[in-house]
Structure 1
């Protein structure tokens, strides 16, 4: 019996081990994602005043009406914890890239607003970001692979979103 067979024999029935093809895909996903994010992050550090996370936050704000989003919606859209987004916004606020304001329709809510300086920094960083995304992803894949990657990641994001919503519902029902 090989180590792999031994592991499979020890697996509980409700959590079967991954087969070789599944294991290959899983490990390639982990390795590829980690290397891709690291390459983009390194590129941002070298060519931009923004981190990759700050850039994505400004992109979200740039697409929002009046360049404004509620902090909780911003965190959800970025798939980040609210405390992590709060810390990032605080750092960006100190640099004049964003500001916080009261939500006019809900006193408990806080909005994040992109400033003119934030917009200028986003515009300055965008060409380098797009070049890096092209270099490390778009130009490496065929159009079909790129489309399949997008479809696969959308399915994964949706499965995770459903789990996240269940966790929130459980917390609120307590």
Structure 2
């Protein structure tokens, strides 16, 4: 396997080329970053008719105090733009799963609130989500130290 960039005849000081194992890990991680979310979404849509972003939105709201978050906080939690999150919430609002209400602290802002119907939908979809995560991700990590892996990935993310 070749390295990501051609190895210069003399590497700049302090730059060490990737080992074959490091190279394989970096290339595989790039594939996982794109393939895993697609696989989880396809599974959720097929089994529950609920896209992963809808599930994540309901999940984050269910975990928030009083089942509500400011739209900007929800967008951040879901790794989305505010305009993208607004479209998701509008769709979920049309299905009766979420309600938007004015922020009490700031009348210019909006909160998304999980309805009882939204919580029930989340509970219905939860086993499918867990099955998808196990099938497409966790089952492939058998025998690894998941706590150490989670810590390492958290360090990368931050």
State TM-score, norm by structure 2: 0.84
Query: Where does residue 171 of structure 1 map in the other structure?
Result: none
Q: CA deviation at 1:17?
A: 8.5
**In structure 2, do the counterparts of structure 1 residues 47 and 4 end up closer, same or farther at CA, with 3 Å as the change threshold?**
closer
Query: Where does residue 111 of structure 1 map in the other structure?
Result: 111
Separation in structure 2 between the aligned mates of residue 54 and residue 28 of structure 1, nearest angstrom: 27
Matched, 1:7 2:6: yes
Matched, 1:129 2:126: no
Query: Where does residue 34 of structure 1 map in the other structure?
Result: 34
Q: CA RMSD in A?
A: 2.7
Separation in structure 2 between the aligned mates of residue 5 and residue 157 of structure 1, nearest angstrom: 21
Query: Where does residue 57 of structure 1 map in the other structure?
Result: 57
Separation in structure 2 between the aligned mates of residue 135 and residue 70 of structure 1, nearest angstrom: 33
Query: Where does residue 120 of structure 1 map in the other structure?
Result: 120
**In structure 2, do the counterparts of structure 1 residues 18 and 119 end up closer, same or farther at CA, with 3 Å as the change threshold?**
farther
Matched, 1:97 2:93: no
State TM-score, norm by structure 1: 0.77
Q: How many residues align?
A: 155
Return 5+ residue gaps in structure 1 as ranges: 159-174
Structure with a larger share of its residues in helix: 1
**In structure 2, do the counterparts of structure 1 residues 17 and 81 end up closer, same or farther at CA, with 3 Å as the change threshold?**
farther
**In structure 2, do the counterparts of structure 1 residues 82 and 17 end up closer, same or farther at CA, with 3 Å as the change threshold?**
farther
